Structure 1
Amino acid sequence: MSFAHRTRPSPLVLPPPVGNINQNLAEISLPVYTYADLRAARHEDQYENGERILVGLKDYIFNVSPLKEFMGPAGQLSNYPWRDISFALVKSSNLPEDTAVQGYNNFSQNDSKALEEWTATFLLRFTVVGRKSRVDTA
């Protein structure tokens, strides 16, 4: 019997919380991204030109450029940028097939709680630049 081996990334070192970085989030009109839009936002020269690095987490699109060391081409989480990382982050996985999972509807109660905690953590540390579409055609 063989078991699929899930690689677990080293602990993600997040920047400290930034005041009220998303304080007016409900009042701001943000662009809506589908999974396809998020993937299309990637550019080959993204890292070299200092452009922003985006990820989807729960209902939001975050600019995680401060994590370039982890999410850049040589980083241990290089599969995360320009994807919905809800599933992979909750499962502590950096496998390509886990970053390919879209959405978070079939989570257990514990996984849902972990997703809420990760989302709250990201809301304190990274700028929300968009919202994820609730209906996606990806």
Structure 2
Amino acid sequence: MTTFATFAQRNIASPLELPLPIPDLNEDLASLQLRMFSYEQLASARDEDQYEEGARLLIGLKDYVFDVTSLKAFIGPQGPLNNYPWRDISWALVKSSNLASDTANQGYNNFSPENLKSLDDWTAVFLRRFVVVGMLSGTA
């Protein structure tokens, strides 16, 4: 199992540290007409050319869908986080896991207060580093 601690042990930068924060990256979210994605629609965004040049890699986190194409080295087919694309990764991030079983969990309805705090922290990191391309329906 690949965890974020594993990156530190191998002296590899965590994939979430790669893009520099951009404080106002998603500042106007409330005014945008964003596409709504169900879990099934997010999964179906994956296609046969998913890792080809120009293909976008999307992930769901809490209520958002992010374009994380800049992390292709980490979430591509040979990357350590290759279970993340086109899934809701809320549960997996809170557990620091890349197990397929953890990326198969959808939503955050049964999260403890501690897990919700961790999820909010991760969401804040993603909002400063990746563009929101849609909203994830069916959560919370």
Question: Any idea what SS the aligned residue of 1:88 has?
Answer: helix
The aligned length equals 130
**4+ residue stretches of structure 1 with deviation over 3 A?**
none
Corresponding residue number in structure 1 for 2:42: 38
Corresponding residue number in structure 2 for 1:8: 3
Give the TM-score taking structure 2 as reference length. Answer: 0.88
Stretches of structure 2 lacking an aligned partner (at least 5 in a row): 8-13
Question: Any idea what SS the aligned residue of 1:111 has?
Answer: helix
- 1:62 deviates by 0.2
State whether structure 2 residue 115 is matched by structure 1 residue 117: no
Stretches of structure 1 lacking an aligned partner (at least 5 in a row): 1-5
Q: CA RMSD in A?
A: 1.4
Question: Any idea what SS the aligned residue of 1:39 has?
Answer: helix
Equivalent positions of 1:37-116 (< 5 A) are 37-116=41-120
Q: Which has the higher helix share?
A: 2
Corresponding residue number in structure 2 for 1:131: 135
Partners of 1:84 and 1:134 lie apart in 2 by 11
1:65-112 superposed Cα distances (whole Å, 9 cap, x missing partner): 111011000000000000000000110000000000011111111111
Give the TM-score taking structure 1 as reference length. Answer: 0.89
For 2:3, the aligned partner's letter is R
Partners of 1:91 and 1:66 lie apart in 2 by 23
